[in-house]
Structures are given as C-alpha cells and as structure tokens.
A and B are shown apart, each in its own frame.
Chain A
Amino acid sequence: DSGVTQTPKHLITATGQRVTLRCSPRSGDLSVYWYQQSLDQGLQFLIQYYNGEERAKGNILERFSAQQFPDLHSELNLSSLELGDSALYFCASSAGTVNTGELFFGEGSRLTVL
C-alpha cells in the first residue's frame, strides 16, 4: 500500500461525457502528479501540482484539467470524452516539499469510454 488513494477504481462512460477522478496523496506529501497509461502510449505524464499550484505540465489535452485543493487532494477532470481517452489514470505523490524522483503511485482509475 503506497498510501495514495484513487477513486473510482473503475469507471465506464460514453463519448462526450465528463468525469472526475480523485486522488488523495500520502500524508504530508505536497506534490501530486497525474499520469495516463494507455495500451499504445505507455505511461505519459500529464500534470503536477505542488501545494495547490500547477508546477509542471506534460502532454495534457485541453479537454483535461486538474486542480489541487487546500487539503491537498487532487482531481483530474476529463471532458468531451473520446474513445481514445480510455486508459488507466494514475496519481502519484512525492515525499516532503522537494521532488527527489521517488514517487508513490496509487492503484489507478481505469476509465472505459464506450
């Protein structure tokens, strides 16, 4: 158990819909990262938040957005969903206030878009 909690574990929805994935980081971790893993793309970094502020952005689509709340949990919002958005979405958090490269990943949210 990494200490990172993601909900929901599984989600099935239709094209054009909007979903929200939630992540609770390890206790005390200020940074939250979102990754997408699809069959043909591998693990792709989407975005990082540190203490409520966006810190780094990867290949995140404009239809996707994220935020980190004062209690440090984070949400990833996916809108106008397409079939290609079907993937595993992982949240990770890092220890302390500095990104040392040791990330702790949750078990992921599996999104299926039909």
Chain B
Amino acid sequence: DAKTTQPTSMDCAEGRAANLPCNHSTISGNEYVYWYRQIHSQGPQYIIHGLKNNETNEMASLIITEDRKSSTLILPHATLRDTAVYYCIVRPYNNAGNMLTFGGGTRLMVKP
C-alpha cells in the first residue's frame, strides 16, 4: 500500500465539523482512499472510500484533491461518540492479495 501521513491527534468541538487530513503523495492511479475508525478498543469500522470524486454517505464526506495526493475526511457535526482513531488507507480496489494496512491514524478528540 502507498504510505499515508496523518496528524497524530486533533481536537474538535462538539457540533462542529471535524476535518481530518491525509497525505498520500505516492498514490497510484488504481489505488483508492479508504477511511476507517476505531473507537477505544473496539473493532475498526469502515467509514467511506473513494477514487477521485468526492464521496458522501450517512457517516461522512470524503474530499480528494484533484491531483489525488491528499484527502480530507469530514464529519459534518461531530459528536462525543465520534471520538476515535481515524485511519486513512490507500490500496487497490478489488485486489484480493493486498490487505488493509493500518498506520498510526489520527486520534480525534471531540470535546463538549
């Protein structure tokens, strides 16, 4: 998997948007950007993924820059339950032999 770089930690006020950045400057043309999160000691949870277009689902929005070298995960109205470690992962889609490789992630703390 291409290497990703994320800030170690971030704070966000409850009710505000949380914008989590990720740099993936060596991403290849066939690699997607995936986001997972892990709430304290629970199993990681899939959030969203995308190739080059912006994506939105019920959990979050994913904004990928035009050159695809970076992306931002947006939680539009963060709640205390969104406090978690957020992992940005790049990998080829539909590749049975290429596992999800988790880095250090960003520890998001949502504060009242």
Are A105 and B101 within 8 A (Cβ)?
A: no
A contact patch SS: strand
Q: Does B45 contact A (CB under 8 A)?
A: yes
Are A90 and B95 within 8 A (Cβ)?
A: no
Please name all residues of chain A whose beta carbon is closer than 8 Å to the beta carbon of B91 when the two chains form the complex: 101
- Who on chain A is nearest to B38 by CB? A43
Q: Do A101 and B42 contact each other (CB < 8 Å), given the known contacts A43-B102, A45-B99, A55-B97?
A: no
Question: Interface size for chain A: under 10, 10 to 19, 20 to 34, or 35 or more residues?
Answer: 20 to 34
- Who on chain B is nearest to A108 by CB? B43
Q: How far is the CA of A56 from the CA of B97 in the complex (A)?
A: 6
Q: Do A107 and B42 contact each other (CB < 8 Å), given the known contacts A98-B94, A98-B96, A101-B91?
A: yes
| Cross-chain contact of A2 among B43, B89, B98, B104 (Cβ < 8 A) | B43
- Who on chain B is nearest to A99 by CB? B96
Please name all residues of chain A whose beta carbon is closer than 8 Å to the beta carbon of B30 when the two chains form the complex: none
* 3 A-B pairs with least C-beta separation: A105-B43, A43-B102, A99-B96
- Given A58-B99, A90-B44, 14 more A-B residue pairs with CB atoms under 8 Å apart are A4-B43, A45-B99, A45-B101, A55-B96, A56-B96, A56-B97, A99-B94, A99-B98, A101-B49, A101-B100, A102-B34, A106-B43, A107-B43, A108-B42
